[in-house]
Amino acid sequence: MEIFDNLALGFSVAVTFQNIFYCFIGVLLGTLIGVLPGLGPVPTIAMLLPITFGLPPVSALIMLSGIYYGAQYGGSTTAILINLPGESSSVVTAIDGYQMARQGRAGAALATAALGSFFAGSVATFLLAVFAPPLADLALKFGPPEYFALMVLGLVASVALASGSVVKALAMVVLGILLGLSGQDVYTGTPRFTFDMLELADGVEFVALAMGVFGIGEIVRNLEDEHTRTVLVQKVKGLLLTKDDIKRILGPILRGTFLGSFLGILPGGGAILSSFSAYSIEKKISRHPEQFGKGAIEGVAGPEAANNAGAQTSFIPMLTLGIPSNPVMALMIGALIIQGIVPGPNVVNEQPNLFWGIIASMWIGNFMLVVLNLPLIGIWVRLLTVPYHILFPLIVGFCCIGVYSVNNNAIDVYTMALFGVVGYVLVKLDCEPAPLLLGFIIGPMLEEYLRRAMLISRGDPTVFFTRPISATMLGLAMLALIIVLLPSVRKKREEAFQE
């Protein structure tokens, strides 16, 4: 019954006025940036990282978590109403959701998305509460070789699951690791990769890099291709589902929930992979696959449940192992480090208020999102008419103020601008920037555990292969890389991402 005692502790933390307020702010912002096409949770969380300096750790993480899973809800609104996904994980929802809206069933599509998201989010949060503590206890038995192998496996998995070229994804990981290694040597204090610049003595500023690559780079890309937003439905009616609708969505929601819960844990997985996989499965097992793409309600229910479940369970490796499974979790680790908390298995035991408070807040946040999304749909519809060229200067100004406030250093603003150009160039070259951020966060930890393992073994590299857990994980990493690079697998992988 220990789990119930821990959940009682979590709710005692989450239901304080301060934390409920920050949870509400998080899910409201998440819905807002999910609704506005071009703004996703990664640039928003990157922009808000400086604000978390002045907040208690629990409140800061509750707010940032709310932005992430709130964006999954909000993204479906634009996908259904204007066929323009506000969030990348809602791309699949647009296929059938928009067709339902054209047939006068926008209300049913939005209700399906909201209810599927609520159910999946609640189940995935329960799974997080059940499985995260045992995993953290297991991780406490890991030594440096096991942690090194786990991080290698995580980076290889992020490459395998990244869209586009495997070679480009590998290059992004290597670039991220190199950027993460700039600054002072962790053991000797010797400067490296600093180019004799004092400003780089502490390494590249994480907030500046994240804001530049994901904030400024994404904004510029959206500016060059601003979509004209024609709102198909000005007033949404018929939010109540029929008995037939409920019967049709139950199976897809259940399958999407459990598929998303599993895929969310995998490095490089999360909400996007979950929603695409759920749609593919529903289409394959359907008795009427020809209805998909023409307004099948199952094509909304499955992906929406999957992307919310994937968003929730992606917290498991971040909170228990200190390893991010996607760019948002990399930013969460950055937020923990900013607050002086070392990410990893000790968080569960040393920061129980933080760990269980975040879990409890997810149930509260999911309930708030249902209330926010369905009754207030009219407000979100009106927001869709705001032109992007008006939002652009406001966002850039907010980015500059935020990144400057971290260290009160103008160099950070220039760094952000430089990485904004880098982020835009990467997008134009079809290089997904997500593996770069994962490499940047994991790189220094990878080096530290490698050097610790070599010190313990007196320089013997076979230590990674003589210990069963590290040998198994390195073997899996090698196998995954070989499989992905096989011509036949690579071709199928490219076809799947194109679809």
Which is more confident, 189 or 381?
A: 189
> pLDDT confidence of 225, banded at 50, 70, 90?
low
Strand partners, 191: 184
Q: Read off the pLDDT of each residue in 59-66 and give the average, rounded to a whole number.
A: 90
Distances (CA, A) of 183 to 155, 196, 370, 420, 436: 22, 10, 46, 21, 18
- Please report, rounded to a whole number, the percentage of residues in the chain having pLDDT higher than 90: 4
Contacts of residue 385, Cβ cutoff 8 Å, sequence gap at least 6: 229, 231
- Reported as type and span, the H/E element at residue 324 is none
* pLDDT score, position 216: 80
* pLDDT score, position 388: 67
Q: Read off the pLDDT of each residue in 321-346 and give the average, rounded to a whole number.
A: 81
What gap in Å lies between CA 259 and CA 277, rounded to an integer?
8
Question: Within 13 A of 403's CA, how many CA atoms are on the CB side?
Answer: 30
Tell me the Cα Rg of the chain: 22
The torsion region of residue 297 among left (phi > 0), alpha (psi -120 to 50) and beta comes to: alpha
Number of domains in the chain: 1
> pLDDT confidence of 498, banded at 50, 70, 90?
low
What gap in Å lies between CA 281 and CA 284, rounded to an integer?
5
Evaluate if residue 221 carries a pLDDT over 90.
no
Whether this prediction's pTM lies above 0.75 is answered by yes
In this structure, which amino acid lies at residue 133? P
Query: Where in the sequence is the domain holding 328, given as residue range(s)?
Result: 2-498
Task: Return the structure tokens found at 151.
Answer: 């991080």
CB neighbourhood size of 401 (10 A): 12
Question: 466: closest CA among 71, 215, 145?
Answer: 145
Evaluate if residue 407 carries a pLDDT over 90.
no
What gap in Å lies between CA 240 and CA 106, rounded to an integer?
11
Task: Return the structure tokens found at 261.
Answer: 């819960």
What gap in Å lies between CA 416 and CA 421, rounded to an integer?
9
Strand partners, 184: 191
* pLDDT score, position 45: 81
What gap in Å lies between CA 69 and CA 274, rounded to an integer?
14
Evaluate if residue 20 carries a pLDDT over 90.
yes
